[in-house]
Structure 1
Amino acid sequence: MGTAILRRYVLIGAIGQGGVSTVYSAVDARRGRKLAIKVLAPSLADDPQARENVRREALITDRLRHPSVPRVFEYGEAPLPDGTVVPYVVFELLAGVPLTERLAGGRLDWPEAVRIAATAADVLAVAHRRGVVHRDLTARNVMVSAADVKIIDFGLATAALRTAESGAHPIIVRGDNRKLPSHPKTAFARPSDDVYTLGVLLYEMLTGRSPYPPAVAAMIVAAGRVAHLAPTPVLTVPGLPAELRDLVRACMAKRPEDRPRSADVALSLWKTLDSRRFPVPSVN
């Protein structure tokens, strides 16, 4: 607390911490605005792969330029008070709470769940079109407020495999002609993997529980072996539109080629939500 990065960004306090980095709320002393700064753990300062992971996340997040993705203001390297030089990324400071906090109180009403899932599908559609797979779309990486939904943490994001299902080309980093490198642990990723996890997320929001034993599902999905999961349980939520139930099952299909594209999922979800707001009058 009180540490200044580059004599400009004054750290106020930690707001998130993982195994490789810490996110701080901070004040930009030059412009007088609050921001968020992700800083690599000093213990990993000499780890080339860890440093590259921070760079990759900054480039991918900045490249997406989606209103539901945190804005990146700056990326670089800075000395800490002890002399250690670490990579950092300056993001917009987000309002709201992680979706995990909302789900701790039970399932969401289906219109709210659809709004959140449709926003996530929008982000995935843009990412997939630009050759990027998120690879970590979970409730902890969705920030929710009364007016907004943000998809965060592209730390595991990677350049998508060039496949018939995606039609995507690897992302090109602005300022040079190099392709954005794939994440070494998720290089096998395909857009359909994100569609699957979106289906799991929507199921969790609609029911308040995971469709599978959490530890088992996380391990299998992370390993890219979704086909080994049990069939998707049937949704039995009262008042749930049939098309929404069918869409969840389609997103969670075992065979990647049987899952819809993220853009089609987004359109279906927004259409379902609009049909509730503006019902089509019956004709006698």
Structure 2
Amino acid sequence: MIGTVLGNRYEIIEKIGEGGMACVYKARCRLLNRNVAVKVLREEFVDDEDFIKKFKRESQAAASLSHPNIVNVYDVGVEKIGENFIHYIVMEYIKGKTLKEIIKEKGKLSVEETLDYSIQIAEALEHAHKNHIVHRDIKPHNIMVTDDGRVKVTDFGIARAATTSTVTTSTNVIGSVHYFSPEQARGGYTDEKSDIYSLGIVMYEMITGKVPYEGDSPISIALKHIEGEIEPPRKIDSTVPIGLEKIIMKCVQKNQFDRYQSAGELLYDLKKLKYSCVDDFIENTSIIDSPTQIMSNIQIENEDEEDLKGRKGKKKKNKGENSLKPILLAILLAFIVTGFVAFSFFKFKDLFVVAETVVPDLVGMHVDVAEEELEKQGLKLKIYKEIYDNEFEEGEIVSQNVKAGEKVKKGFTIGVTISKGSKLVKVPNLINKNITEVDAILREYNLDEGEVKYDYSDTVEANIIMNQFPEPYTEVEANTKIDLIVSKGPKSKPVLMPKLVGLKEKDAENALKSFNLKRGQRIEKPSDEYPEGYVIWQSIEPGVAVEPNTSVDIYISTGPEKVPEEEPEDEDVNSEVPFNLKLTLPQDGTKVEIRIDRVQDGVSETVYEKVHIADGNTVKIPLKGKLDAQFEIYFNGIHNETFPHPDKQ
């Protein structure tokens, strides 16, 4: 395959990968002069017409996806080489490693890496599912990670458009046995939740370094997906956050309806876990209240009314006789204690006076320094709150509950609010959005628009954002400026200069318009060859390739040159001959300073200088000079053209 050119466009350079269904090659697109990845189907699938039809239909559907976390599919084609047909998919070329390679290198990934990669994969799936495309083969081998950490999900070429009839009926189930869902293993109904199951297995492998099911054969592994129980990640590694384990275990439920119902739901929980400070969070489960119970009344047995009255009477009698003595003793004791306390206070009152101190100004201090400062004053510090603040660095005190300069008793506790630093903002994804939408989006995220550059693109429409810096989903401080690269659309192709000489002036102008060219300077000049009003000269030769909107200067015939009357003998033959120069101004509404210098007899002299409004009109400038004089035109002080006297033979 090396050196083969597919579609008269894609030149195969080297082999970069191989899978169960296809081989992947690095190729060069001759038309756009860029590297692409070309996936070529293996020969054993070429004769399967039913598979080929599905392959084409589903690959074209996948090509409609456009998302920063999905590898772009540029083209799908077939090429006959000799007796063989080569079916291929042309994709975006990614420089990086597969997620599988990264897991092998590191053994397992950190919580931060797992969440970051999982969020990006889930966002790719959410976009695909919204476009009714189910991947059906999510695994680390099909997930590329660029050198800067951007995830790119590949192999949407074998994805299936999601419909009610999405059922795997082939005896050879597509997908990798370690990652596919129970319904795929059974050959049953597959939908978006099948991708969620596979992503759950990928997350399991990222955080633990191993897949949940192993076996001696693919069939034994498939059976475990259908019947086996997955060992929770925390039993393998107790440092795995509880919240992450819950997310993974919900993804890999056997029953499709017990999983997340959409990639959006999964994405919500992943982001909630990543950006909250809590290791675990409560899932949305129904709260089961205790049932309402009717308690039986406490029954009092009927007693004889007289017995009851007799008991009450006895109680009152006993109470009246015995309660007086304790009350008198209590009063006596109270007098004794009160007298002792009063005597002690006046005698030792100086011992009970607590020293006071002045509260220092803590705002702006680091909390550790402030604590030391308060200890010197005999005071204590307590952190009441932590907030984001763009004015104070992390750990610095933003405010205190007792103002500086106030007096408090020693041992008093000063409450402070400390800064968590500048609040970080997650950069939104602006790629593929129109430049007119940017202001509102950035304002919503408390970010600012930075430098905007425009560049040509053969694949992106004009005014659509092609790239941004910082990249999407990175965290930056509020009010950070986001630089953008915006498409100018395809670069205009060169046009060939038409022949204008010999055409009427109006016809020449129409010819320039039809070739997307502009008329530049127009100068009238006599001609014995062409009648009045015809073009006798053009500044660019016919057939020359020029850029669109190029200006072309023309000379217009004024007819045969008039024979001057005989001049008196005493008239100077080197006298200055007048003529009119016509200049067509631009239409941009700016001010244009036109200056014309005449070079005559070795002397340069400014003969015209005036500011005009660029309104598209033609300016008629009267000039004169000897026939051998040269005239230099300057626009805003910049030399534009030098031309001879039009009457010079």
TM superposition score category, shorter chain reference: 0.7 to 0.9
- Whether the 8 Å CA contact 1:121–1:262 is kept in 2: the answer is yes
- Is the contact between residue 253 and residue 259 of structure 1 (CA under 8 Å) also seen in structure 2? yes
Matched to 2:87, the amino acid is P
Partner of 1:39: 40
State percent identity of aligned pairs: 30
Question: C-alpha offsets along residues 181-230 of structure 1, whole Å, 9 cap, x if unaligned?
Answer: 876536721222211111111011001011222566x647868x844121
Name 2:256's counterpart in structure 1.
Answer: 256
Q: Hey, what does 2:377 align to over in structure 1?
A: none
Looking at structure 2, the residues matched to 50 and 39 of structure 1 have their Cα atoms a distance apart, in angstroms, of 14
How do 1:3-22 and structure 2 match up within 5 A? 3-22=4-23
Say if 1:156 and 1:183, in contact at 8 Å, map to a contact too.
no
Counterpart position of 1:115: 116
Amino acid at match of 1:191: E
> Aligned ranges for residues 115-154 of structure 1 at < 5 Å?
115-145=116-146, 146-154=148-156
SS at match of 2:64: helix
Q: Give the structure with the larger helix fraction.
A: 1
- Looking at structure 2, the residues matched to 84 and 133 of structure 1 have their Cα atoms a distance apart, in angstroms, of 31
Q: Which residue of 1 aligns with 2:159?
A: 157
* Partner residue, 1:85: 85
Which segment drifts farther, 129-138 or 186-195? 186-195
Of stretches 250-259 and 186-195 in structure 1, the one that deviates more from structure 2 is 186-195
1:231 to 1:27, Cα distance in 2 relative to 1, 3 A: closer
Q: Which residue of 1 aligns with 2:72?
A: 71
Question: TM-score, length-normalised on structure 1?
Answer: 0.80
CA distance in 2, matches of 1:231, 1:238: 16
Counterpart check, 1:200 vs 2:201:
yes
Higher relative contact order (CA 8 A, sep 6+): 1
SS in 2 for 1:65: coil
Tell me which moved more, 228-237 or 199-208.
228-237
CA contact (8 A) 2:215 2:221 kept: no
Conservation of the 8 A alpha-carbon contact between 1:142 and 1:150: yes
Q: Map 1:218-229 onto structure 2 (within 5 A).
A: 219=219, 226-229=225-228
Structure 1 contact 5–79 (Cα < 8 Å) conserved: no
- Paired amino acid for 2:102: R
Distance 2:239 2:254 in 1: 26
Instruction: Extract unaligned runs of 5+ from structure 2.
Output: 171-183, 278-384, 388-415, 418-649
* Residue identity matched to 1:254: K
SS of 1:2's equivalent in the other structure is coil
Structure 2 match to 1:176: none
Amino acid paired to 2:60:
L
Contact 1:14–1:24 (Cα < 8 Å) also in 2: yes
After superposition, the Cα gap between the structure-2 partners of 1:222 and 1:73, relative to the gap in structure 1 and judged at 3 Å, is farther
**Alpha-carbon distance in structure 2 between the residues aligned to 1:215 and 1:134:** 27
Q: Distance in 1 between matches of 2:222 and 2:50?
A: 19
Distance 2:66 2:198 in 1: 22
- Structure 2: which amino acid aligns with 1:235? R
Q: Deviation per CA, 1:10-69: give whole Å up to 9, x if none.
A: 101111223432211000122211001112234543321332243144223212222211
1:174 equivalent in structure 2:
none
Paired with 1:227 and 1:55, the residues of 2 have a C-alpha distance of: 31
Question: Residues 232 and 252 of structure 1 are in contact (CA less than 8 Å); yes or no, is this contact kept in structure 2?
Answer: no
Residue 246 (structure 1) aligns with:
246
Q: Once the two structures are superposed, what CA deviation does each residue of 1:102-137 show, in whole Å capped at 9, x if it has no partner? A: 111300011101111111111222222232221111
The SS at the match of 2:86 is strand
Structure 1 pair 15/214, CA: closer, same or farther in 2 (3 Å)?
farther
Number of the residue aligned with 2:97: 97
Q: Which runs of 5+ in 1 are unaligned?
A: 163-169, 171-180
Aligned length: 261
1:246–1:49 Cα change, 3 Å: same
What is aligned with 2:565?
Answer: none
Give the 3-state SS of the residue equivalent to 1:14 in structure 2.
strand
Higher alpha-carbon deviation: 126-135 or 97-106 = 126-135
Aligned partners of 1:235 and 1:161: how far apart in 2? Answer: 37
Q: Could you say what secondary structure the match of 2:240 adopts?
A: coil
Provide the rounded CA distance (Å) in 1 between the counterparts of 2:229 and 2:120.
27
Q: Is the 8 A contact 1:128 1:191 kept in 2?
A: yes
1:164-188 deviation digits (Å, cap 9, x = unpaired): xxxxxx8xxxxxxxxxx87653672
Which amino acid in structure 1 is aligned with residue 30 of structure 2? A
**Greater CA deviation, 132-141 or 207-216?**
207-216
Q: Distance in 2 between matches of 1:182 and 1:67?
A: 29
Taking the aligned partners of 1:157 and 1:104, their CA distance within structure 2 comes to 26
Report the secondary structure of 1:104's partner residue: helix
Change (3 A) 1:91 1:234: closer
Distance 1:29 1:244, change over 3 A: same
- Structure 1 distance, partners of 2:265, 2:246, is 13
Structure 2 counterpart of 1:166: none
1:134–1:28 CA distance, 2 compared to 1 (3 A): same
- Are residues 1:55 and 2:56 paired? yes
> Larger deviation: 247-256 or 227-236?
227-236
TM-score of the pair, normalised by structure 2 = 0.37
